[in-house]
Chain A
Amino acid sequence: EVQLVESGGGLVQPGGSLRLSCAASGFTFSSYEMNWVRQAPGKGLEWVSYISSSGSTIYYADSVKGRFTISRDNAKNSLYLQMNSLRAEDTAVYYCAREGSLHHFDYWGQGTLVTVSS
């Protein structure tokens, strides 16, 4: 059974940093592209970042470019999101999502809440 379990969320002050993790199991993690998607309270889904299966190709949404860094450790079956210079507007539930065929997010984690507030 495919499982994606996010962790690392919490309350952080504006300007602060946080590192999210996503532990994957039930599939060959190193064969799949992965993404982070977020959802602000009461709002819609927003794509945040993409990383290829090898980690060699990375993309970011304009809203987080220069502040967030996606990475992965295929030996540990884990995906990460380092978030720096956090702003109030980064407050959201952050989901990791596996990318199946042709840019389809076929599995999602349960999400981890990040709250940026003083």
Chain B
Amino acid sequence: NFMLTQPHSVSESPGKTVTISCTRSSGSIASNYVQWYQQRPGSSPTTVIYEDNQRPSGVPDRFSGSIDSSSNSASLTISGLKTEDEADYYCQSYDSSNQVFGGGTKLTVL
């Protein structure tokens, strides 16, 4: 089994851009799609990016996803930060018989 490692927390000011990384411990990040979920306090997770870089309908284009094979990591970038973006963000991927979540990143918009 592999692990996905995220920074514990990030903070940035409204209107700025922030990037959250998700590094895969073994196996290629490109071999299986990566999803990103947003979870606000007291709520269930919702998808902000699926299949590496696809946005569900209703998710603003301020959210984007990418993968970088050289660092074996995925990234979630949020531009034009709004206070409503403050939440926990989780990356997720899989192998043949396991789903794996990253440890989560707390985004503070201050």
Question: Which A residues form the contact surface with B (CB < 8 A)?
Answer: 35, 37, 44-47, 50, 59, 61-62, 95, 100-106, 108-111
Contact = CB atoms under 8 A, between A and B. Distances in A.
B53 interface: no
Contacts of A47: 98-101
A45 B35 CA distance: 13
B72 interface: no
Interface residues of B, number: 26
Given A37-B99, A44-B104, 15 more contacts: A44-B90, A44-B103, A45-B37, A45-B39, A45-B92, A59-B97, A61-B98, A100-B50, A101-B51, A102-B33, A103-B32, A103-B33, A105-B37, A105-B47, A108-B44
Contact of B45 (A61, A100, A105): A105
A105 B35 contact: yes
Contacts of B93: 103
26 contacts: A37-B99, A44-B88, A44-B90, A44-B102, A45-B37, A45-B45, A45-B104, A47-B100, A47-B101, A59-B98, A95-B44, A95-B45, A100-B50, A101-B50, A101-B51, A102-B50, A102-B51, A103-B94, A104-B47, A104-B51, A105-B92, A106-B50, A108-B44, A108-B45, A110-B44, A111-B44
A57 B85 CA distance: 37
B101 A104 contact: no
Contacts of A104: 33, 35, 47, 50-51
Contact of A45 (B1, B46, B56, B101): B101
A44 B101 contact: yes
A101 B97 CA distance: 16
Interface string B72-110: 000000000000000010101110011111111000000
A110 B45 CA distance: 9
Nearest to A95: B44
Contacts of A105: 35, 37, 45, 47, 92
